[in-house]
């Protein structure tokens, strides 16, 4: 950016049109807000008359951006940070750079790729703030299923001799236990890390007013991606005063740019401004008119624009490194798509369900039928318990008996009922299983059993194991069916593809049935699988595709056989 201040005039060289709300017209010219002053190309000059206060803020913001970029590119003193961890554990330089970035920038979105050690980065940042800045109170918020894993990893990594007084506390279920945890958090004179869940924050919102946290970590921050949910509203209302906030997710954009906006609004609402402005500046809106009970104009997001401008505004707040960006030897991934032909019973039932879909059905009705079709691709038993026919089950048995006889294997399905069927049909090899029904306290035990027992060959799971769990002991992931959201598939792979993996190669096997909705879903939706990377390659416009936003005709095309 070419910027110079002469007297009362600020000169900015830019090739972008300057529009509201970046500029506020006044009697002496224009005042430019700091959000707009980023690294623009020099094509022509425009001049403004800033106040002395604005000059200082502008310089501070420009310095902030430059310093933030330098932090991630400069050398780091690894030993200074490594002393925080127990002797056998050591952070990588790229992790220490991120921890130092968090320490300096205060409110950060850590969007590193799955498997690059975001938990280690967060712990390093916490310990640095304890040691260097004498901060004391830290709240780590995670999905409920990950609380004990966070506790276990904290105990494993933190050097106890350096932090002998550090308290590690899990916020528990009963109200009496939680009241004690909150009271102790407020009153203790020792450094403390309280591990809680998003659900408990929502339930205990009144007790968390003016909560004296020095830092909050939002792990799996996609839990905050929807602005209208109770947890998002509670977080925005309760924790504005917390100086340090760290949001962590490998998939900050699951469905659209709005996901990232909602997370960034919690961290620093100045970055992308109000929701109204965000939509006008960065979203391509499409109008649809409905007439029941009266005329109503509905606006939906159909694409995005001005992405490079958004990236500039987020500079200094977010970190994103992919596996290719860091100098690490992660396991190679071998991907294999196995196409299967439906059994006769599956084909007959599939044709019956698809034949019941007509053009005059509502979109919601069509989507419901599509779920039935996806279930039939797994097994007829999901729709008719009296019929047990599944080409996928037969293939899974073959894979476990032949191809992966001596490997640790994870089987993931989006249907809890099919997970139970797999558990029943594979009972000879005594598989472990985690579903949404598995109690939280049992999940850590099951993961530990799978990781440590040699005879625990197979772990069956649903979406309950997609987030956060470390299952790098496995060398094979079988996607029994593919999720509609590509970000969920990325999370699945990340359970195995991690820095701490003990394998040189991992295999990802996708089971798909021929000439069915599974292939159509793959072709239609997985174009948005790299939406985050596309948006931050400075593309001028980004289109999105979503199953829920497709027309009735588009959905009908997908289910045609």
CA-closest candidate to residue 120, choices 147, 81, 148: 81
- 3-27 pLDDT, tens digit per residue, is 554 544 445 555 554 443 344 444 4
Could you tell me the two tokens for 59?
């310089």
- The pLDDT score that the predictor gives to residue 15 is 52
Average pLDDT over every residue of 241-260: 90
Count of Cβ atoms closer than 10 Å to residue 438 Cβ = 18
What is the tens place of the pLDDT at every residue in 315-327? Answer: 788 899 887 788 7
Q: With cut-offs at 50, 70 and 90, classify the pLDDT of residue 554.
A: low
Q: Is residue 138 predicted with pLDDT exceeding 70?
A: yes
In angstroms, the CA 141 to CA 419 distance is 28
> What integer pLDDT is reported at residue 45 of this predicted model?
42
Mean pLDDT of 414-428: 94
Dihedral angle at the C-alpha atoms of 339, 341, 343, 347, nearest 10 degrees? 110
- Res 537 pLDDT > 60: no
440 confidence band (pLDDT: 50, 70, 90): confident
**Confidence band (pLDDT; 50, 70, 90) for 525?**
low
Q: What is the pLDDT of residue 91?
A: 86
403 pLDDT exceeds 70?
A: yes
SS3 at position 73:
helix
For the stretch 165-179, pLDDT in tens is 999 999 987 899 999
> In the structure encoding, which two tokens stand for residue 473, read together?
């002991």
- Measuring CA to CA, how many Å separate 332 from each of 145, 325, 493? 29, 15, 12
pLDDT attached to residue 31: 42
In contact, 401 and 450? CB cutoff 8 Å: no
Higher-pLDDT residue of 418 and 80 is 418
Q: Are 499 and 328 in contact (CB under 8 A)?
A: yes
Tokens 């979406």 found at: 463
Percent pLDDT > 90 in the chain is 39
Res 290 pLDDT > 70: yes
445 versus 524: the higher-pLDDT residue is 445
Please give the share of the chain, as a percent, with pLDDT higher than 70. 80
Highest-confidence segment of 44-48, 85-89, 240-244, 305-309: 240-244
Task: Report the pLDDT value the prediction gives residue 309, as an integer from 0 to 100.
Answer: 75
Predicted confidence (pLDDT) at residue 197 exceeds the cutoff of 80: yes
- Residues 6 or more apart in contact with residue 170 via CB below 8 angstroms: 147, 148, 151, 194, 195, 196
Give the mean pLDDT of 460-468: 79
- Which tops the pLDDT comparison, 365 or 9? 365
Where do runs of H (alpha helix) occur along 268-401? 275-282, 307-314, 344-355, 363-378, 391-398
**Chain centroid to CA 115:** 12
Return the DSSP state at 324: G
Helix orientation angle between 257-267 and 230-238, rounded to the nearest 10 degrees: 30
The neighbour count for residue 359, using CB atoms within 10 Å, is 8
The dihedrals phi and psi of 522, each to the nearest 5 degrees, come to -60, -50
pLDDT, one tens digit per residue, over 50-107 is 556 656 666 666 676 677 777 777 777 777 788 888 877 888 888 999 999 999 899 9
Least confident of 93-102, 316-325, 493-502, 536-545: 536-545
Q: Report the chain's terminal Cα–Cα distance, integer Å.
A: 55
Instruction: Give the CATH architecture of domain 92-271+317-325.
Output: 3-Layer(aba) Sandwich (3.40)
pLDDT band at 227, cuts 50/70/90? very high
- Please give the sequence-ordered ranges of beta strands (E in DSSP) within 143-280, or none if there are none: 167-170, 192-197, 215-219, 244-248
Please state, in angstroms and rounded to a whole number, the distance separating the CA atoms of residues 498 and 515.
34
CATH number of 332-559: 3.40.50.300
Q: Report d(CA 205, CA 221) in Å as an integer.
A: 18
Residue 35 has pLDDT above 50, yes or no: no
User: What is the reported pLDDT for 154?
Assistant: 92
- For the ranges 91-105, 361-375, 473-487, 492-506, the maximum mean pLDDT occurs at 91-105
pLDDT for position 224: 95
pLDDT classification of 38: cutoffs 50, 70, 90:
very low
Tokens found for residue 448: 């530990």
pLDDT of 33: 42
Q: Cα separations (Å) of 511 from 390, 479, 487?
A: 12, 6, 18
Strand partners, 461: 412, 434
The SS3 of residue 196 is strand
Residue 311: pLDDT band (50, 70, 90) is confident
| Span 331-347, pLDDT tens digits | 778 888 888 999 999 99
364 contact partners, CB below 8 Å, separation of at least 6: none
**CATH topology agreement for domains 92-271+317-325 and 332-559:** yes
Average pLDDT, the chain: 81
Q: Which residues of 365-395 are buried (b: 16+ CB within 10 A; e: fewer)?
A: ebeebbebbbbbbbbbbbeeeebebbbbbeb
Q: What is the pTM of this model?
A: 0.74
Between CA 39 and CA 57 the distance in angstroms is 16
**Domain limits, the chain:** 2-71, 92-271+317-325, 332-559
Question: 10 Å Cβ neighbour count for 498?
Answer: 19
């Amino acid at each position: 950016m070419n910027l110079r201040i002469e007297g009362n005039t600020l000169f900015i060289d830019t090739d972008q049109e300057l529009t509201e709300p970046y500029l506020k017209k006044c009697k002496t010219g224009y005042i430019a807000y700091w959000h707009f002053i980023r690294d623009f190309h020099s094509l022509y000059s425009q001049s403004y008359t800033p106040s002395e206060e604005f000059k200082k803020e502008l310089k501070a913001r420009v310095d902030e951006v430059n310093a933030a970029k330098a932090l991630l590119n400069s050398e780091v003193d690894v030993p200074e940070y490594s002393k925080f961890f127990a002797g056998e554990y050591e952070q990588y330089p790229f992790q220490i750079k991120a921890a130092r970035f968090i320490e300096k920038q205060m409110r950060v979105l850590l969007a590193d790729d799955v498997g690059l050690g975001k938990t280690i980065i967060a712990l390093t940042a916490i310990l640095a703030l304890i040691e260097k800045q004498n901060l004391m109170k830290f709240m780590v918020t995670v999905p409920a299923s990950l609380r004990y894993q966070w506790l276990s990893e904290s105990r494993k990594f933190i050097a106890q001799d350096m932090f002998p007084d550090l308290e590690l506390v899990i916020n528990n279920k009963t109200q009496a236990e939680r009241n004690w945890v909150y009271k102790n958090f407020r009153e203790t004179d020792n450094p403390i890390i309280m591990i809680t869940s998003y659900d408990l924050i929502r339930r205990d919102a009144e007790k968390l007013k003016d909560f004296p946290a020095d830092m909050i970590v939002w792990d799996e921050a996609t839990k905050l991606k929807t602005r209208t949910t109770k947890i998002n509203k509670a977080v925005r209302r309760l924790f504005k005063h917390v100086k340090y906030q760290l949001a962590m997710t490998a998939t900050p954009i699951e469905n659209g740019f709005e996901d990232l906006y909602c997370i960034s609004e919690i961290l620093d609402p100045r970055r992308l401004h109000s929701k109204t402005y965000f939509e006008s500046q960065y979203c391509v809106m499409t109008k649809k008119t409905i007439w029941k009970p009266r005329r109503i104009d509905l606006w939906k997001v159909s694409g995005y624009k001005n992405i490079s401008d958004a990236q500039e505004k987020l500079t200094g707040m977010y970190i994103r490194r992919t596996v290719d960006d860091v100098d690490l030897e992660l396991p190679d991934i071998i991907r294999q798509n196995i196409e299967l032909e439906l059994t006769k019973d599956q084909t007959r039932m599939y044709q019956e369900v698809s034949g019941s879909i007509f053009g005059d059905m509502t979109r919601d009705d069509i989507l419901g039928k599509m779920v039935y079709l996806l279930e039939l691709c797994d097994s007829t038993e999901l729709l008719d318990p009296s019929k047990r026919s599944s080409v996928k089950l037969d293939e899974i048995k073959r894979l476990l008996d032949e191809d992966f006889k001596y490997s640790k294997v994870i089987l993931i399905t989006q249907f809890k009922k099919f997970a139970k069927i797999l558990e029943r049909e594979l009972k000879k090899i005594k598989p472990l299983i985690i579903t949404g029904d598995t109690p939280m306290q049992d999940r850590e035990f099951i993961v530990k059993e799978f990781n440590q027992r040699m005879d625990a060959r197979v772990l069956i799971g649903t979406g309950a194991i997609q987030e956060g769990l470390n299952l790098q002991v496995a060398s094979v992931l079988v996607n029994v069916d593919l999720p509609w959201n590509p970000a969920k598939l990325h999370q699945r792979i990340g359970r195995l593809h991690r820095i701490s993996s003990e394998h040189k190669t991992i295999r990802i096997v996708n089971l798909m049935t021929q000439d069915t909705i599974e292939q159509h879903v793959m072709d239609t939706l997985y174009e948005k699988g790299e939406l985050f990377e596309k948006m931050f390659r400075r593309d001028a416009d980004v289109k999105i595709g979503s199953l829920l936003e497709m027309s009735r005709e588009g959905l009908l095309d997908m289910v045609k056989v």
